[in-house]
Chains A and B, each alone.
Chain A
Amino acid sequence: MAEILLSVVKIAVIVFGFVMLVASLMTLLGDRKQSAKIQNRIGPNQARFFGFSLAGIPHFLADGIKMILKENVTPAQSNKFLHTIAPGLVFVPALVGWAVVPFMDHYCTGTVQTLPQMNYTEVCVGGEWKNYFSIMHFNSGLLFAFAIAAVSVYGAAIAGWASNSKFSLLGGLRSSAQMISYEVSMGLSLAGVLMIYGTLNLNEMVRMQGNMFGDWLPMWGVVVQPLAFFLFFLAGLAETKRAPFDLPEDESVIVAGYITEYSSMKFAMMQLSEYAATVFIAALIAVIFLGGWQVPYVYADGIRFLDNHWVPFGEDAWYWISIFLRIGAMVFKILFLVWLQFMMRWTLPRFRYDQVMTLGWKILLPLSIANLFVTALVLAIL
């Protein structure tokens, strides 16, 4: 019973408290305010609470109310059933993937010790690890995340097909072709990382990234696999269907792609899940390449740099401080990556569709295979 309650609390905090909050704030802060700042504008500030514009936050509520009150139009010749469930098919995978994202190491009921002689591995002495900071402890977490991310394309394809509109159909096709092309290089770019860490468990992966090269350089994914980081970031951008890869909803060519025929809350759900997918990809990049919840030199039993070891505020207090520092680091990394993705969106113009395919199949794929090959060679020699 306690287990179930714990899971429910974790789901509520992570999915609704964090993901949905970030995703819905992104619609306003990321999309409109950030673009406004980049383009030397002010951005939306006209919806006010008692005369205060509050950095445009009331717009976010106004949008919600507008979306709910709008008429929900279903095209006459469309497949009503599929048209109705498609937003759900897009929305659910965007949230389910969060089950395996660790926001912090497991909680140790005993005391944590860091072993510098064993490459700064943390062990739990006189107690056991309790999984409090990720929804699910899952040995093949990465596979699960990938499977879920791939499933979300069904929603887009079905939405495109069920709308009975040429634009929607084209959008759905573009979206599925793009997803399939980039999934390949995404997976291959990660193969090198998997070879190095030797695990599919995301939390284990983050722990390995606490290891040090020569006592001072954290073994983050971006350090050991810089090319893979770059490939994964690009492929991730393409996966989330945001500009410069937003061909599935290329408004100058196919109106709004697979969401052309959607209105009201269904439209809002489509949009929100796109933002949620952006946050999810950011979380994956943070976990795999940027050390997840790791803060360099900060360990559960104090700060270690080279041969020095400090324990500020005493052992017990420091354990809690390190927990908050690490959760903060994870959240910060995710927000930073989301910010970076939006920066890319407002910096680069949209590709042509053939360019997207060329980039995916002719550049990213060979590069990721080469990366895999070189990594394998280096690992075999070492």
Chain B
Amino acid sequence: MGNVTVKNVDRIKQTLWEKSYIPEILRGLSVTTSHFFRNLNPNKEKRTIFTREYPEVITEYPERYRGLHRLMLRDDGQVRCVACMCCSTICPADCIHIEAGEHDDPTIEKYPTVFVIDELRCIVCGLCVEACPCDAIRMDSGRHIPPSLERDEAFFDRDLLMELGGLSEAKQGGQR
């Protein structure tokens, strides 16, 4: 094995001014006091308060916030998912359950008869969105997963997920 090398790190020497602590304590006090009085300003605009008053004021999530899943729709309102199982395969929490069924339209082949996401198990990693080959699942609904009292309530099935869905910008029919 290699030699152990010692790297000497110079200690930053304190000056006598700093060692006496008092000027530094006063400096710290001036910082806290200025914050204290700034946040007592009757003009609320001038205060620097970062608290979000959450339930009263709903916070805007950033655009790429990973929220509740949604299943996208085809032009005719059917589910866009082709039940390829990519998402349920990659899902590290193993929380997507899909049962495929044969579609009447021969150009579509498969569609999910059952599509359930257990949102309690989901770790909100977003891998399912990355894995989907046809932009059928997204997490850009801008909502977080609602709290539930029963486990069953956290099972979001296909129709529920489709309610949040919308048309994809991707063109159908494979034209590029």
Q: B36's contact among A34, A230, A344, A348, by CB below 8 Å, is which? A: A34
Question: Which residues of chain B are within 8 angstroms of A352 by Cβ–Cβ distance?
Answer: none
Contacts from B to A (Cβ < 8 Å): 22, 25, 28-29, 31-33, 35-36, 39-40, 48-51, 53
- Apart from A344-B29, A347-B25, A347-B28, what 4 extra A-B contacts exist at CB < 8 Å? A40-B51, A41-B51, A343-B32, A343-B33
Instruction: Please state if A38 and B51 are interface contacts (CB–CB under 8 Å).
Output: no
Instruction: Please state if A42 and B32 are interface contacts (CB–CB under 8 Å).
Output: no
B29: min CB distance to chain A, Å: 5
Instruction: Please state if A42 and B29 are interface contacts (CB–CB under 8 Å).
Output: no
Within 8 A of B (CB), among A333-355: 343-344, 346-348
Q: How far is the CA of A230 from the CA of B22 in the complex (A)?
A: 10
> Top 4 nearest A-B pairs by Cβ distance?
A37-B39, A42-B51, A347-B32, A347-B28
Question: Which residues of chain B are within 8 angstroms of A346 by Cβ–Cβ distance?
Answer: 32
A49: min CB distance to chain B, Å: 17
Q: How far is the CA of A344 from the CA of B53 in the complex (A)?
A: 28
Instruction: Please state if B40 and A37 are interface contacts (CB–CB under 8 Å).
Output: yes
Given A42-B49, A42-B51, A42-B53, is A37 in contact with B36 using a C-beta cutoff of 8 Å? yes
Residues of A contacting B: mostly: helix
A349 to chain B: closest residue by CB: B28
Instruction: Please state if A40 and B48 are interface contacts (CB–CB under 8 Å).
Output: yes
Q: How far is the CA of A38 from the CA of B36 in the complex (A)?
A: 5
Q: How far is the CA of A34 from the CA of B49 in the complex (A)?
A: 13
B135: min CB distance to chain A, Å: 42
Instruction: Please state if B28 and A40 are interface contacts (CB–CB under 8 Å).
Output: no
Q: Mark A212-250, 1 if CB is under 8 A from B, else 0.
A: 000000000000000000100000000000000000000
Question: Which residues of chain B are within 8 angstroms of A344 by Cβ–Cβ distance?
Answer: 25, 29
A340 to chain B: closest residue by CB: B29
> What are 26 A-B pairs with beta-carbon distances under 8 A?
A34-B36, A37-B35, A37-B36, A37-B39, A38-B39, A39-B35, A40-B35, A40-B39, A40-B48, A40-B49, A40-B50, A41-B49, A41-B50, A41-B51, A42-B51, A230-B22, A343-B29, A343-B33, A344-B25, A344-B29, A346-B32, A347-B25, A347-B28, A347-B32, A348-B25, A348-B28
| Interface-centre pick from A40, A41, A343 (highest chain B CB count, 10 A) | A40
Q: How far is the CA of A41 from the CA of B53 in the complex (A)?
A: 10
Question: Which residues of chain A are within 8 angstroms of B49 by Cβ–Cβ distance?
Answer: 40-42
Q: How far is the CA of A41 from the CA of B51 in the complex (A)?
A: 5
B25 to chain A: closest residue by CB: A348
A227: min CB distance to chain B, Å: 11
Q: How far is the CA of A347 from the CA of B28 in the complex (A)?
A: 6
Question: Which residues of chain B are within 8 angstroms of A42 by Cβ–Cβ distance?
Answer: 49, 51, 53
Q: Mark A129-170, 1 if CB is under 8 A from B, else 0.
A: 000000000000000000000000000000000000000000
B50 to chain A: closest residue by CB: A40
Q: How far is the CA of A39 from the CA of B50 in the complex (A)?
A: 9
A342: min CB distance to chain B, Å: 10
Within 8 A of B (CB), among A93-150: none
